[in-house]
Amino acid sequence: MEGYVCYRADHPTGRARGGAVVLAKQDLAHYHLHTVTSSDTQLAAIMVETPLGEILVAAAYLPPNIPWNRAEFDSLADSRGTALHEALTPCSAQVLATGRPTHFPYNRQSTPSCIDFFIFKGIPNSVLSVREEYDLSSDHLPLLTTINTAAQRIPKKRRLVLPGSNIQRFKAELNSLINLNTQILSVEDVDAAVQTLLDQVHAAAANAAPAHIYSAPTSQRPRTFSPILEGLLALKKRLRREYVRTQDPTIDRIYRRIANRVRKELIISKRNATDTMLEEATADESSKFALWKLSSRYKRQAAPKFPVRLPDDTWARSPMDRAEAFACNLEERFKPFETASHARIQRVAQILEAPLQINRQKEPM
């Protein structure tokens, strides 16, 4: 697939059976962890960088014809039935599923089952959602989960000279923007002058490039931090530039110390925001019932939803199929009772179809 990096865990026999795969976009900040390709387990895992921290994303396939026990899933965090519960409870992991079956056997005598699900740990329930996909026609119903957080992107390399750029116009624009009379008295003036020069070069490139090719970098949504954290971030950025320029180990030690301080301040800021949210949450309308919303999302598990059989003896997979099955069942179940005679039914129908006499008839003079 173009634009994606593929991490596969094929079955060791090389035949078209089993296997797991993880697809990641090329501009997604991630790295590969490990791959398991044994006869009873195929697993592919990557680590993705997000504002919530590093999230481990793994795809695992375990064939149902091999007996499983808890010991086999202490490291994989996966199982079924009672063994699944026994493996996940000690590590405080949770199951994310729709509650509906995901495997519909071709044999109509077999009962659909739920064998596709997600296991997560350390991620808030409020940022997770799961839904079914009905585009495929196999006996498995794919599940799609979404983590509502912005992933870290690998910045694209910017090119100054793009196809179709006007080089002569670029030179003229740059000559008109550059000011050679800039006064430099300190290290901060050097950094400011370098940044100004870079901005002028990019501005000249934007004016010289075709309008349909050049696109300015999109600015991220501004974040609000405390004044202490803003100062630490600015100091960290300045120390980083100074260390790149001088390679002084003393500056590197100070930079690492400030980076640790920034990390601790971010944790404190996040904790204070959570405490404030919990303190302001009430059970009445003043906070829009925030307390009930928070408690209802705490370790909420999907309720099991049993499979529905269609009139043609097949299983309902999509919501439209389930609605059609219920409609047919209600149509067969609820029918009018014909207890009256045929003549009385016709008489009642004539009365119902007759026009209504709203005004009283005028008496003859």
Helix (H, G, I), strand (E, B) or coil at 107: coil
**DSSP annotation string for 124-172:** -GGGEEEEE--S--SSB--EEEEE-SPPPBPPPPP-SS-TT--HHHHHH
pLDDT value at 123 more than 70: yes
Please write the tens of the pLDDT for every residue from 287-344.
776 777 766 655 566 677 788 888 888 888 888 888 888 888 888 888 766 677 788 8
Please report the pLDDT score of residue 341 as a whole number: 79
Rounded average pLDDT over 129-154: 77
Please write the tens of the pLDDT for every residue from 10-39.
888 887 778 888 988 888 888 888 788 888
Radius of gyration for the chain, computed over Cα atoms and rounded to the nearest angstrom: 33
pTM for the model stands at: 0.46
Rounded average pLDDT over 222-226: 66
CATH superfamily of the 4-153 domain: Endonuclease/exonuclease/phosphatase (3.60.10.10)
Please report the pLDDT score of residue 76 as a whole number: 39
Residue 5 bridge partners (DSSP)? 24
CATH 3.60.10.10, the chain: domain bounds: 4-153
pLDDT value at 118 more than 60: yes
Name the more confident of 223 and 65: 65
